[in-house]
Amino acid sequence: MQRRVTGLIAVVSALSATAALGGCGSSAGDGPVTLRLVAADYGNSQANSSQKYWDKLTKAYEADHPDVDVEVSVYSWNDVDAKVKSMVAAGDPPDLAQIGAYADYAADGLLYRADDVLSIDTQSDFVTQLSAAGQVNQSQYGMPFASSTRLLFYNKDLFADAGVTPPKTWGQLASAAAALKAQGVRYPYALPLGPEEAQAETMMWLLGNGAGYTDEVGSYDIDSEQNVETFTWLKDKLVGKGLTGPVAPGKLNRAQAFAAFTRGEVGMLNGHPTLMKAAAEKGVKFGMVPMPGVDGRSETTLGVADWMMAFKKSGHREQIGDFLDYVYSDKNVLEFSHEYDLLPVTTSASEAMAADADDADLLDFLEELPNAELPPVGQTSWARVSADIKQEIGTAVSSTGSPAGVLGHLQRGAAARQNAE
């Protein structure tokens, strides 16, 4: 997920957390151990760089674990996955990596299983949907580190001027978009199908029609009848009627759509928690509702997660496990979630957030998490299939595009990649 995608419960001290959760122990072995962690930066400036989060966390951990040094290198989302890939290719992987995908490394036998390193209490505390998404061949290798869901954001002032209410169905969404267009709204519905994150916008619409990228047994089913129906509707009822704004959906990236929303130019769009702060800072009055579906509000929503993984090369299994148990303590999970407007990945921290009045603005997103469906991140083919979707899906709704043709082409490529796994 790649996002830049922030009260607290009774604080568990570092010492008590590791005592309670550290089932793997922190043996000093033959001497001091250095753990290397490569992590993604969720901040948008030096002031809130993730390096500051990790520096504070590791300083507290090392104070109670003098035989363990933790070195954290933080890279931008543009660079972090490639950095880890190059380290692995050079035969020198880090002990831990917190990045966007884990499946390739798991399939190559490079990673510890989650139950190799985590205590039972820590592993069992992961939100069920996220834990399941971290599995390859029924074994968990990807440990969720950050998560978010999506809601439909709408501009309250623009909706009031157009005399419409938040939609619950696709038909209502199209009607509201038409009314917004009649009032001169630049982007009645912003449809970002550009290469930045088209796979996420696409999946939200597929879920709204009761489908997705795969079938019930995990095989790609991109050109299913339901999915072709979905993109035909988008082409005919939204894009073809000029309800998605002046930029062709295939050229519109998420960041552009979000920026237009904060300028008051967008009537509605799908968004994640960070859009709340950005819009509020610009004085935009907004509301949020579940994503509409074909006949009613969608029963499932898009879930997104970023991943922590532990490489076996160094052999520091016990130290890695003890450190991760500390990382996943409620105190640290909540601190990270608050700092970057993300959802906790553990059940206990989620319950704490839900009970805290200071987190009321995240409650709507949190309530969607049990209904969330994640992309097929456990398949090694997904990274390349996702890249194909990002590049091609926007053409399905262009004036000369064919939803059936584009989805069919994507399906053939996805099936070939899956068969080659």
CATH number of the domain at 398, please.
3.40.190.10
How does pLDDT run along the chain (421 residues), one tens digit per residue? 443 333 333 332 332 333 333 334 334 345 689 999 999 999 878 888 999 999 999 999 999 999 999 999 999 988 999 999 999 999 999 999 999 999 999 999 999 999 999 999 999 999 999 999 999 989 999 999 999 999 999 999 999 999 999 999 999 999 999 999 999 999 999 999 999 999 999 999 999 999 999 999 999 999 999 999 999 999 999 999 999 999 999 999 999 999 999 999 999 999 999 899 899 999 999 999 999 999 998 888 999 999 999 999 999 999 999 999 999 999 999 999 999 989 999 999 999 999 999 898 899 999 998 889 999 999 999 989 999 999 999 999 999 999 999 999 999 999 999 998 7
411 and 281 part of one domain? yes
Q: Is residue 278 situated within a structural domain?
A: yes
Domain match, 159 and 138 both: no
Q: Residues 354-390, buried b or exposed e (16+ Cβ, 10 A)?
A: eebeebeebebbbebbeebbbbbbbbbbbeebbebbb
Evaluate whether residue 5 is within a structural domain.
no
> Using an 8 Å Cβ cutoff, are 292 and 298 in contact?
yes
Residues 284 and 315 in one domain: no
Same domain, 106 and 139: yes
Report how far residue 381's alpha carbon sits from residue 88's, in angstroms, rounded to the nearest whole number. 19
In a domain, 56, yes or no: yes
Q: Can you give the pLDDT at residue 44?
A: 78
The answer to the question of residue 2 being in a domain is no
Residue 204: CB atoms within 10 A of its CB come to 16
Q: Which helix (H) or strand (E) holds 381?
A: none
Report pLDDT for 198.
Answer: 95
Residues 173 and 286 in one domain: yes
Residues 393 and 284 in one domain: yes
Place of tokens 């509301």: 287
- Helical H runs in 234-362? 254-262, 274-281, 317-327, 330-340, 347-355
pLDDT of residue 361: 87
pLDDT digits (tens, 9 = 90+) for 41-79: 998 788 889 999 999 999 999 999 999 999 999 999 889
Residue 296 belongs to some domain of the structure:
no
Shared-domain flag, residues 166 and 244: yes
Q: What angle do CA 54, 100, 150 make, to 5 degrees?
A: 100
Q: Are residues 126 and 161 in the same domain?
A: no
User: Which tens digit of pLDDT belongs to each residue from 75-99?
Assistant: 998 899 999 999 999 999 999 999 9
Name the residue range of residue 189's domain: 151-290+381-419
Residues 175 and 235 in one domain: yes
- Tell me how far the alpha carbon of residue 326 is from its chain's centroid: 23
Residues 143 and 156 in one domain: no
Pairing mode, strands 372-373 and 301-310: parallel
Q: Is residue 89 part of a domain?
A: yes
Residue 268 CA, distance from chain mean position? 20
Q: Give the chain's domain count.
A: 2
Instruction: Give the chain's mean pLDDT.
Output: 91
Specify the pLDDT at position 233. 98
Torsion of CA 335, 7, 45, 281, to 10 degrees: 160
Looking at the domain assignment, is residue 8 inside a domain? Answer: no
Within-domain flag for 79? yes
**What pTM was computed for the model?**
0.84
272 and 248: one domain? yes
Same domain, 232 and 245: yes
